[in-house]
């Protein structure tokens, strides 16, 4: 760039390191190859020295040292995929579930209305129209079968959705609740067999 003679660029690395987990690593430092615990300890040392600030380095070093002598602490995190009761919203025309799907949740209507359809071949028959305070989806949970109807949102819909596991716990520990669901199921005609109220 300055008009001088060109020089050959040559890069000489200090080495390479890689952690394998379980307090084991591989390393090549100044041409010397290492593996196992010693390589892992060196990898952690280099990693520690590259952290910004001595305060942070000290905290991490203490945590790592305690990890060597103390057993691992297992923690279960319940993230977005947790299967607790949840609120769901649907707009008109959307299906909550389809006939033939796995029955894994009970739905309680907080606001809005749904229509329940039974599909036989190419024909679709309206079985029920449900509103606030009513529920659907319990037939598949009680009988451990697939959904035998399709539920479609008619007006802006808010639902309380309860997974199979929580439904089972409630039904086991609150006998009156299970009896209520079973009584409603018995009141339905076998021909309807719907995951909601019987056609009126």
* CATH code for the domain in which residue 171 is found: 2.60.120.10
Do 96 and 44 lie in a common domain? no
Spatial separation of the C-alpha atoms in residues 167 and 155, rounded to whole Å: 26
3-state secondary structure of 87: strand
Q: Quickly state the pLDDT bin for 74 (edges 50, 70, 90).
A: low
Task: Give domain status of residue 9, yes or no.
Answer: no
For 7, the enclosing helix (H) or strand (E) is none
Task: Give domain status of residue 93, yes or no.
Answer: yes
Please give the average per-residue pLDDT across 50-69, as a whole number. Answer: 85
Do 38 and 65 lie in a common domain? yes
Q: Give the pair of three-digit tokens for residue 112.
A: 């809005």
Say yes or no to pLDDT of 35 above 50: yes
Task: Give domain status of residue 113, yes or no.
Answer: yes
Q: Give the pair of three-digit tokens for residue 93.
A: 């025309």
Do 105 and 143 lie in a common domain? yes
Task: Give domain status of residue 4, yes or no.
Answer: no
Q: Quickly state the pLDDT bin for 158 (edges 50, 70, 90).
A: very high
Spatial separation of the C-alpha atoms in residues 136 and 153, rounded to whole Å: 12
Summarize pLDDT for 4-22 with one digit per residue, the tens: 888 888 887 888 888 887 8
Flag whether the pTM goes above 0.85.
Answer: no
Closest by Cα among 107, 120, 136, 148 to 196: 136
Total count of domains within the chain? 2
Spatial separation of the C-alpha atoms in residues 125 and 143, rounded to whole Å: 22
Do 63 and 92 lie in a common domain? no
Q: What share of the chain has pLDDT > 70, as a percent?
A: 86
Higher pLDDT, 94 or 103: 94
Higher pLDDT, 74 or 160: 160
What domain range includes position 45?
A: 15-69
Q: Quickly state the pLDDT bin for 83 (edges 50, 70, 90).
A: low
Do 106 and 176 lie in a common domain? yes
Do 95 and 160 lie in a common domain? yes
pLDDT at position 109 is 93
């Amino acid at each position: 760039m300055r008009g001088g003679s060109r020089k050959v660029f040559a890069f000489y690395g200090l080495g390479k390191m890689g952690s394998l987990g379980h307090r084991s690593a591989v390393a090549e430092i100044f041409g010397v190859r290492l593996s196992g615990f010693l390589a892992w300890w060196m990898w952690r040392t280099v990693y520690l020295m590259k952290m910004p600030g001595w305060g942070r380095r000290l905290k991490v070093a203490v945590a790592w040292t305690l990890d060597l002598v103390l057993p691992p602490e297992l923690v279960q995190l319940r993230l977005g995929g947790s299967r607790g009761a949840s609120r769901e919203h649907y707009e008109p025309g959307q299906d909550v579930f389809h006939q033939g799907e796995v029955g894994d949740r009970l739905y309680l209507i907080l606001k809005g209305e749904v229509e329940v359809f039974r599909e036989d071949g190419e024909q679709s028959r309206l079985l029920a129209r449900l509103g606030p305070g009513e529920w659907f989806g319990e037939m598949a949970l009680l009988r451990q079968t697939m959904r035998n109807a399709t539920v479609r949102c008619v007006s802006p819909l808010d639902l309380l959705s309860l997974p199979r596991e929580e439904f089972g716990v409630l039904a086991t520990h609150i006998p009156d609740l299970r009896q209520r669901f079973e009584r409603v199921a018995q009141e339905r005609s076998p021909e309807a067999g719907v995951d909601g109220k019987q056609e009126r």
